[in-house]
A and B are shown apart, each in its own frame.
Chain A
Amino acid sequence: MSATADRGTGPIRIGILSLAHHHAESYLALLPTLPGVQLAGLWDENSTRGRDAAQAHGIPLLATEAQLLAARLDGVVVASVNAEHRRFVELSASAGVHVLCEKPLATRLDDGRAMVDICAAAGVRLMTAFPMRWSPVVAAMAASLRAGTLGDPLVLEGINTGEMPDAHRAWFVDPALSGGGAIADHVVHLIDLYRWLLGQEVEEVYAVANRILHDGFRAVETGGLVSLRFVGGATATIDCSWSKPRSYPTWGGLRLEVTGTNGVIAIDAFGQHLTQYGPREVGIEWPFWGSDPNLAMLSEFVAAIREDREPAITGIDGLRALEVVEAAYRSIEQGVPVRLAMA
């Protein structure tokens, strides 16, 4: 079983399983700043990258996944390529280690379902890394909705667009490793926010996509628009395109407008930035000064372990978002709105 039961008052020991996702860099930097948390070590399939990161953060580099999971971990952050999430989550579950899994939960629906099931059977917590619920800007919108300021929410229009992610890691644009293109990459964040804000599930999905952006890069879709219908009657859309050119002042962003019976509230979750002008070859940059939602997300993962409870965002939430992604791809193929394939 997990270390939870005999944890006592010692620090919560967290490991990092793979640095394939660039968010791992952020987790490595943030985890040691949390009180009562010990970054216990990391494993990476790329031994050079792993050694460099371990040295930079002064933590052990373990030779195998199994050795890391055996290093008296309380929790592990899985930041591998998407297609490997299932394998690492299953290893963690059988080692009795709680998991925070990078989004999207998996590349295939049956993988996602298996991950939820195996963690439940093993008695370990599975959390999906959807940090945006912890953005104070998003939280302010949620509070406003709960207070009824907007009346009944009717239409949600979200924009989670970004640069072509191969700027960070090449595997993002390899469908065998990532599960798809802009749809797989960017739809899940807003789906999670919509489900959270509305308290309703998606029932129907329509999606269109193309491969025109970035000089007609063809391996995966780079442009995508998704339209959703929720069980309660609200509708929503998502622009998930990788539509920011290399010259854009930042990586991308997340914006959301909610139209209700009493007006409209709009947020720009990454709108808290400076505008910095450099030499021509650098151009304009938007240094972000808002609060990092990753910190609060990691803090919740640790708190769930410490308090022996479900985290605020579970594997089920990751699975629900994955169901929408799967439906979006089916809709693109069929050219019509499709119903969700319910678990």
Chain B
Amino acid sequence: MSVPEGSDPGRGRLRIGIVGAGFMGATHVAAWTAEAHPVVIHDVHPERAAQLAERHGAATAATLDVLLAAVDVVDICGPTHRHAEVALAAAAAGRHVICEKPLARTVADAESMLAACDAAGVRLFAAHVVRYFPEYALARARVVAGAIGHPAVLRLRRASYRPRHSQGHWLFDHEKSGGVVLDLMVHDLDYARWVAGEVVSVLCNSVGIARPELAVDHAVAILVHASGAITHVTGSWALGRPDFRTSFELAGSDGLIEHDSTVGPIGSWLAPSGDGGHGAVGLPSSPVTEDPYRLQLREFMREIVDGVAARVSARDGIAALRLALAADESARTGHVVRLEAGPR
């Protein structure tokens, strides 16, 4: 493990407590250790915490209380429906909170998390990592610089295979995860808002809600922004393994920006081996020197330590959750769901 340039050994690194040693927990532990932060891991399944800790030279904590006593920042990577209880405990213990998207399963939970963190004087972060992916960050910066004029029609697409978990996994329990809309589409709902501003209405169709008996999930939403821009968002767990694809098109009054991850820098056509070697959940693959997860966590650290605001706030996380829940409601009822313009 190397200490990155520019670090200040005298100040030390904040100690990170990971809650949830699943797929995203492992991704975050790798990023934290690369950033030379001491990591402690807690999982309701102690053997999973131990395995992950072993791989990265991290410590484990048998209980959440033990973890809270040993760290400065709690990084919540567990199931969506349990984010709130962990965040509230962390805030009560005076720990900063980083929380995977979606921030919570309900807006009430997310609001209570933010209120608790505010009251405790600690920061709450929503890990909308897509804002740190270089293609997304660059496109948004170009839009802000006026490259396409006023955003008019956006299409955002994120498609993967169905995560490789067993049938009873919380991700497949709509009550716990919110399905593909809350878990995957929420990335692009956040991005749509980042690029084209507040959303005033959502219509959504979801295979997972209309046909819950199927093994695939696929949702398409149409957003209207307060600016008049309109956005088409797709979140899909319907691809065959091992594919993960993202694409977007941002059309404006004076230009157009396109991106498609399938037009990538590397091609490989290899003989299949076993299960193909792909992970439990698909992730995009286009190698860059600056890992988006590390960049995100570093920005969160900078906000805690130096007070420089990260590009995504807890309020953004709540707004994205609101959009995802509006999409879910629309898919359930067949109605257009209207939202108040502007953040509360």
Contact = CB atoms under 8 A, between A and B. Distances in A.
Interface of A: 154-155, 157, 159, 161, 206, 208-210, 212-216, 222-225, 227, 229, 233, 235, 237, 239, 241, 243-245, 247-248, 259-261, 263-264, 335-337
A247 B49 CA distance: 54
Given A155-B207, A264-B236, A213 B253 contact: yes
Interface string B140-155: 0000000001111101
A180 B233 CA distance: 25
B232 interface: yes
B201 interface: yes
B339 interface: no
B230 A225 contact: yes
A229 B215 CA distance: 21
A150 to B, nearest CB: 10
A210 B200 CA distance: 14
Nearest to B254: A215
Contacts of B334: 337
Given A241-B251, A245-B256, A213 B153 contact: yes
Given A222-B152, A245-B256, A335 B336 contact: yes
22 contacts: A154-B211, A154-B238, A206-B336, A208-B230, A210-B152, A210-B153, A210-B230, A212-B150, A212-B252, A213-B251, A223-B230, A223-B251, A224-B153, A225-B230, A229-B205, A239-B232, A243-B152, A243-B153, A259-B236, A261-B215, A336-B335, A337-B335
A259 B214 CA distance: 12
B228 A210 contact: yes
Interface in B227-258: 228-232, 234, 236, 238-240, 249, 251-256
Given A227-B222, A261-B214, A263-B239, A157 B152 contact: no
Interface of B: 149-153, 155, 159, 201, 203, 205, 207, 210-211, 214-216, 218, 220, 222, 224, 228-232, 234, 236, 238-240, 249, 251-256, 334-336
B159 A213 contact: no
B228 to A, nearest CB: 5
A155 B210 CA distance: 12
Contacts of B231: 225
Contacts of A244: 251, 256
A215 B249 CA distance: 18
B313 to A, nearest CB: 27
B264 to A, nearest CB: 16
B221 to A, nearest CB: 9
A222 B254 CA distance: 13
B254 A336 contact: no
B256 A259 contact: no
A279 to B, nearest CB: 20
Contacts of A206: 203, 222, 336
Contacts of B210: 233, 235
Contact of B228 (A161, A212, A241, A336): A212
A269 B35 CA distance: 46
Contacts of A161: 251
Contacts of B152: 210, 212-213, 222-223, 241, 243
Contacts of B335: 336-337
B228 A155 contact: no
A307 B104 CA distance: 65
B152 to A, nearest CB: 4
Nearest to B331: A235
Given A157-B234, A227-B203, A243-B256, A337 B214 contact: no
Given A154-B216, A237-B222, A263-B240, A213 B252 contact: yes
A154 B230 contact: no
A324 B118 CA distance: 51
A264 B211 CA distance: 17
Q: Which of B152, B239, B336 has the most CB of A within 10 A?
A: B152
B252 to A, nearest CB: 7
Given A214-B253, A243-B256, A259-B218, A235 B205 contact: yes
Q: Which of B215, B218, B231 has the most CB of A within 10 A?
A: B218
B256 A337 contact: no
